[in-house]
Structure formats: structure tokens, C-alpha cells
Structure 1
Amino acid sequence: MENRMRRLFVLLLIGVLALAVAVSRRAPTSQTTPRLDVAEALAAPLDGFERAFAPRPFTFPRDHGAHPTFQTEWWYYTGNLFAENGDRFGFQLTFFRRALSPEPPATGSAWHTNQIYFAHFALTDRERERFQAEERWARGAVGLAGADAPPYRVWLDDWRVEAIAEDADQVRLFATHADGTTLDLVAEAQKPLVLHGEAGWSPKDDAPGNASYYYSFTRMQAEGRIVRPDASAVAVRGTAWMDHEFSTSALGEDQVGWDWFSIQLDDGWELMYFQLRRADGTVDTVSGGTLIAPDGTTTMLARDDVQLEVEATWESPRTGALYPAAWRLRVPAQALDVRITPVLNDQELDVSVQYWEGAVDVRGTHGGTPVQGVGYVELTGYAQSMRGRF
């Protein structure tokens, strides 16, 4: 969901305006570093930006690129990878764009811009019980960061996703941590892209215009290599998921965070589901998702179509946040009943704003037949409310 990224942009703004490029890394033994309160700076006015009031036509490959008339945008890649010896990895590589004003600055300087970019690269290494994440930011000027199409590419410094041809259905992903940990993959879509919500229009609140334009490649075949901190290279294969979303909106007045699920089953089906949580613990009525069949046809899911139960929790030793750590997810009309468990409990990103995002395993039944699969889950608003921070 688009909403999950606004929490990230305040520190990005501060860093860019100071002409700084900051990188923070957290391995399992690192200490929490001081951070600024982002709430006040995130309360930016929405006036003058384009809003998502209704469905719009998409034009590809152009719409894979940036939409600077909207305030917020992100390109989001996650995946589960396996080595021949059975080693298991999860990755997250995300790029975020934030407009500081509706119009670019009236100046001829190449350094001046109203666009800032922010990125996260996180890697889960199951066998070594290691999760690490870094964040970077830069201004969208002089080639430091940006997003184009065609040909499709999005980048920040040397972190990048770029089309092998012109479109986004076959891409190369590259990112490296300060300790040398590296992700280098080629990912190719195995299905057509999916437009979520109503033809790609995904409301996040009842307020007019408080919605996003949202689409995904829900099953990409990924192959390449991972380099561990000890410089050992591991050949990997697996599946990836790509989300792209843009909007000018924010959480509703009573919303504090969200839970987002992407699931890839071994029977060829995928599921995207998000729920927006209110302060009283209830789930907002605009929550929902998409079920994708093996042939690419889709079924839109409303909140009441999905039953989600938390079966375990995990408390972060750094933030004290109590996160869900196992779920039972059911879609009765589709005879889908699965349990979802994290690959590692500790997949919390302790960066500008703390949240949990990690690789998961999936097992259960679909249509009465046993299924298993992999996925990614994102959990926000558990370490602190997201309201007022984006």
C-alpha cells in the first residue's frame, strides 16, 4: 500500500536539504541510534497535488516511471530465494519518491529540485539467523536518484532496478550494504501485471481523493547471486513480487497503521491483502485485496471476504513493539485456509521509523488440496502510531 511509505520521508527531506547521504545498517547485535521525531515535518499540505479521485487509464511502459504531480510514490520489490544447498534468503529493495511542492523550483540550477528519494535494502539469511537493513536518501537531481520509463529504471546511488529491454516485466536488481552484502538478480514476470482495487484505483479512506493507483507483478522468476558479509557468493533462484503505487493521501483520522500480505502458492495462485488498523483495534472497511488465478484472472476481495487471526506474537528487544508473528488467513468463498509464519521472528527494520517487514512461509489448503508457498508481510504502527507521520 501507498500509505506504508510516508513514515519514511521526513528524514529523507532533512538529509537531502543538508546535502547529506546517510546510510544506517542494523545487524542483529547493533545498537539503536537516536532519531528525529518525524511527525511535525510529515504534516505537509496536500493542496496543489494531483489526487486519485477515480480510476484512470494506464499507459505502459510510461506508467512504470515517476508521476511527479502526485506527492508520494514507491517501487517495491520483495522475494524469497533459495540456494542449491537449501539455504534460504528473503530480500526487500524499495525506492520511494516524495514531492516537496506541487511545482518544481523556479531556478536554472541542476541541483535544485522538489523531488526527493528514499530507499531500503533488507536481507534475511535464515541459516545464519541474520537480518540486516540499510536506508539511503538523495535528491532527485544531477543523477543521484530518479525513476524513468521508457526504458524503465529506478535508482538511488548504485542501488537500482533497470529494465533489460524497455518494460518492467524483465529487470535487473542490484544493491549492496556497507559490509559488502550484495543482491544481484534478474527477475522476469511470469504473469501479466495486476491492477488492484477498481482497475488500479485503491481507496485508503472514505475521504474523496484519499486513494492510490496501485498495480503489481505478483509472480516473477528471480535468479542471480547473493554475496554474504564474508564475501562468499551464493547462487540463488526463487520468486519475487513487485508493487508500484502513487498517490496524494494519508491515513484516516482514526487509523494508526496497516498489515500487508503478499502470498505466492505452489498451485499457481497469489494473494495480496492489506488491512488498515484503527486506534481501537478494529479494521477499517476499506481494507481488502486481490486473489490472482494461475491464468492471471483476478478476484477483488473486500474486508469481509478475508478472515485473519493472529496466532502468536513477538516482542522487539530494541523498540519494545509487540508484533503479530503467526497468522491464520482464510478466504471462505475460495476455500483458501492457510497459516503464515515468519522465516525469522526478528525482521524489524530499525531505521528512520521502525516497522516489521519480512519473509514468511505459507502452508494450508486451497480447494481442499494441500498447498504451501512463500510470501512477505509488512507491519506498521506497532512501534508507534503512523498517524501524523506521513
Structure 2
Amino acid sequence: MRRLLLVLSLALVALIALAGYLDRAAVPSEVATGTDVAAAMSATADPGYARAEAPRAFEFPRDHGPHPEFRTEWWYLTGNLETATGRAFGYQLTFFRTALVPPDRRTSRASPWASDQLYMAHFALTDVAGDRHYAFERHSRGALGLAGAEAAPFHVWLDDWSLEGGDGPEPWPVTLSARAQDDEATDEIALQLVLEDAVLEDAGGRVLQGDQGYSRKGPEPGNASYYYSYPHLAARGTVEIAGETLAVAGGGWLDREWSTSALGTGLEGWDWFSLDLSDGRALMLFRLRREDGTRDPYDSGTWVTGPGESRRLAGDDFEIEVTDRWRSPDGAAEYPSGWRLRLPAEDLVLEVEPRVRDQELRLSVRYWEGAVEVRGTSHGTPVSGLGYVELTGYATGASIPR
């Protein structure tokens, strides 16, 4: 379910504050008036937007590009890297798009600055050896080439942060570029990668999540998204940090998702896992956290066992046990910080630990998104792996952008 509508819907509040030139009357009222994560994600959407209400046929390369008839979507890339000497890094580059008005109310405006689409991007780098997490945020309108998305050739960008690939059904290789100035240092943080799909099949390693790409998150029509992933990416390139340029290689996981009003009512957030195992298998799980503490019937996941082979998981197919907790430096949030995952039918038990405990993004919306290590057993045989975990709804409201 990844990333649902949370960051985007709420960051729109900060975006509007930063971009006062936009027409506030055009901003959906459920976004403009509050900063509660679950409320923004479950609010009733304007009926002029398209909604995910049933499975659909995907069309590539078209679906690598934007879907402006839906209110929100994202291109979400995370992964783990290493130098030749074993120095480890985690990385995140995410682009969010949100529509200000539904298609049936869009009008032509003479100004070249005018746009009915807003973009936000998050770039983060985890320096495992340095026990440090860097996070950055940018916003822009989808006008004058400042930000946007294109299907063929594949291109998503905001200023000089970008993902850029080819024009075929599969976009690989894709070049990732991001550079930012750390507020607490004089040096820049930069990432330059070339990403390839490590699965050499006709459709590559693409996985349609949920019911053939239709991912339910609630009981009402439209409480769903269209969602596909590439869990097995190979990455190589450079990391610039503390004045050094380091050659790195590793992996990545790309999520693509779009929707209009994904969540049902009574939810406060979610926990999401993307794990690549040493035996070539991969696991995606998400748990929706209900305000009353009960288990949500729309918890879900996908167990990827090989090229073109995956099994959809219902909430009863897996168990998530929290084994540790961590509190943010200012005390504003307490997050899980260790997990034991079980898939009883697969005789799979995994211990998941953050590679750095503080990987909280304290941006216009606060959430924890970080690199993790995995150790465990599958049918009694040891397995290991790396991945990413996302935790939302633990910090109330939005923080002040840095």
C-alpha cells in the first residue's frame, strides 16, 4: 500500500503555505484545513476525481507516467548500497504528485506559472557507519519545467532531483540524480545511480500488488489504489558525503501507486515493510493501525518467490511482533524499532532491525523511513537480507519545514 496518500495530502498544507501564489479556493477542503494523517487520507474526495474501484489492465509504458485524473500518486525508490570496503548506506528518493482540482473543473489560464498539479520530493541518505540520517524536501508546481512526470521516455523530476529512463514497456536503465546541502554541515550530500532490473524476464521483476495491481485498504468503493513494484533492482554509482566521492553498488525497490481516497475511517497510520532476502525472494507487508487497537481486515502483503511468481498475503497469513522501540530526539514520537515477522505457512521467521535507529524524516510531515537488516530462518535454513521500513502516524500533525 505504500505511501498511500499520507505524505502527499498533508505536505500539501506546507506547500500551500510556501506557495502563496496558488489559488487557495482550489485546494480540497479536507487537505487545506488539517494536518491529521488518517483524516486526510480517508476524507471524502471530490467526485470529479477518478477512483480505484476495481482491477484494471495495466498499460506500459503509459502507467510509468502520471495519472492526473487521480488525486495523488508517487514514484517511491528505496535501497541499500555498499562501497568495495563494506561501508554501507541506505537511500530514498520519492516524488509525490497531487492534483489541486479534479479534471472536470480544470480551466486554461494564460500565465505560464499556472498549474493544477503540485509536486513534492523527499531525498534521504543513511550513513550506517556514521550512524547518521540526512533528509531533504522540495516542493514545486508542475509548470515551466520545474517539476513533472513523463511516461516515455520515463522521466520524473523536481528541480535537479530526477529519475530518467527509456521509452519502452520497461524503463531500465534508470538514472537517479539528487543533490542537497546539509543544514548542519558545509558539505553537500549527493547520490548518482544507474538502476537496472535484476530479473531478466519479458516483464522483468515487476510485481502487481494486491488483486492484479488493485490494492484494497478499506471497505468502501475507492478505498484502494493501483499499485505495482519492482523489488529486485541492481544499483551502481556514487555517493558524495563529507567531501568524499565513494563508488557504491547494491539494490533498490521501486513502488508506483496512485489513488484518490485510499483509506477507510478509524485508522491512525500504518507500518510497511519491503525486504529482499539472500535467497532471491522478496517480501512486502503492510499493517494498518486502527485507532481502537484492533486488527484491520485490510492488512496485506506479497510474497515474491521468483521471476513472475508471487503470492498475495492476507492479514491472517503473517504476524508482526514489535521487539524494540525508539523515541525521537525531541520526544514528539515513539516508533517501533525492531520486529519479528512470521509467515507460518512458509515456516519463515525474520528478525528485522534498523541499520540506524534515528531515520525519522522531520520534514513538513514527520514519519520514519529507514534501512533495515534481516536475519532469520526459512524451513530451518538461515536467511538474511536488507530492506526498508516505513512507519506513519506516530507523530501527530506536521512539523515545521527546515
Cα separation, partners in 2 of 1:319 and 1:142, compared to 1, 3 Å: farther
The residue aligned with 1:182 is 190
Aligned residue for 2:306, secondary structure, equals coil
Asked if 1:16 corresponds to 2:19, the answer is yes
What CA distance in whole angstroms lies between the structure 1 residues aligned with 2:232 and 2:146? 30
Q: Is the 8 A contact 2:195 2:235 kept in 1?
A: yes
Give the Å deviation of 1:17: 4.0
Give the Å deviation of 1:250: 4.1
Asked if 1:375 corresponds to 2:375, the answer is no
CA deviation vs aligned residue, 1:305-363 (integer Å, no higher than 9, x gap): 01110000001112431100000001011121100000011000001111100000000
Give the Å deviation of 1:253: 1.7
Cα separation, partners in 2 of 1:305 and 1:383, compared to 1, 3 Å: same
Q: Extract unaligned runs of 5+ from structure 1.
A: 20-35
Asked if 1:249 corresponds to 2:256, the answer is no
Q: Is the 8 A contact 1:56 1:201 kept in 2?
A: yes
> 2:235 aligned to 215, 222, 227, which one?
222
Aligned residue for 1:175, secondary structure, equals strand
CA deviation vs aligned residue, 1:196-250 (integer Å, no higher than 9, x gap): 000100011101111100000011000000000x220011010100000000014
Give the Å deviation of 1:139: 0.2
Give the Å deviation of 1:294: 2.5
Q: Is the 8 A contact 1:46 1:71 kept in 2?
A: no
The residue aligned with 2:30 is none
Residue 158 of structure 1 aligns with an amino acid whose one-letter code is D
Asked if 1:193 corresponds to 2:206, the answer is yes
> 1:149 aligned to 123, 129, 151, which one?
151
The residue aligned with 2:101 is 101
Cα separation, partners in 2 of 1:85 and 1:268, compared to 1, 3 Å: same
Return 335-344 or 104-113, whichever deviates more: 104-113
What CA distance in whole angstroms lies between the structure 2 residues aligned with 1:201 and 1:273? 15
Q: TM-score, normalised by structure 2?
A: 0.88
Residue 253 of structure 2 aligns with an amino acid whose one-letter code is W
Q: Is the 8 A contact 1:105 1:112 kept in 2?
A: no
What CA distance in whole angstroms lies between the structure 1 residues aligned with 2:389 and 2:351? 13
Correspondences of 1:1-390 after superposition (within 5 Å): 1=2, 2-5=4-7, 6-18=9-21, 38-39=35-36, 45-103=45-103, 104-164=106-166, 166=168, 167-179=170-182, 180-191=188-199, 192-228=205-241, 230-384=242-396
Residue 228 of structure 2 aligns with an amino acid whose one-letter code is Y
What CA distance in whole angstroms lies between the structure 2 residues aligned with 1:385 and 1:182? 29
What is the RMSD of the two structures over their aligned residues, measured on CA atoms? 1.9
CA deviation vs aligned residue, 1:32-67 (integer Å, no higher than 9, x gap): xxxx96359956843210000100111001100000
Q: Is the 8 A contact 1:159 1:176 kept in 2?
A: yes
Give the Å deviation of 1:95: 0.2
What CA distance in whole angstroms lies between the structure 2 residues aligned with 1:146 and 1:71? 15
CA deviation vs aligned residue, 1:77-113 (integer Å, no higher than 9, x gap): 0000001111110001000000010133332332211
Cα separation, partners in 2 of 1:70 and 1:245, compared to 1, 3 Å: same
Q: Is the 8 A contact 2:273 2:389 kept in 1?
A: yes
Residue 305 of structure 2 aligns with an amino acid whose one-letter code is A
Number of equivalenced pairs: 369
Residue 203 of structure 1 aligns with an amino acid whose one-letter code is R
Q: Is the 8 A contact 1:308 1:328 kept in 2?
A: yes
CA deviation vs aligned residue, 1:271-328 (integer Å, no higher than 9, x gap): 0001110012223110101010123301000000011100000011124311000000
Cα separation, partners in 2 of 1:378 and 1:170, compared to 1, 3 Å: same
What CA distance in whole angstroms lies between the structure 1 residues aligned with 2:154 and 2:349? 37
What CA distance in whole angstroms lies between the structure 2 residues aligned with 1:47 and 1:203? 19
What CA distance in whole angstroms lies between the structure 1 residues aligned with 2:375 and 2:21? 48
Q: Alignment identity in percent?
A: 50
What CA distance in whole angstroms lies between the structure 2 residues aligned with 1:286 and 1:46? 24
Give the Å deviation of 1:169: 3.2
What CA distance in whole angstroms lies between the structure 2 residues aligned with 1:165 and 1:100? 28
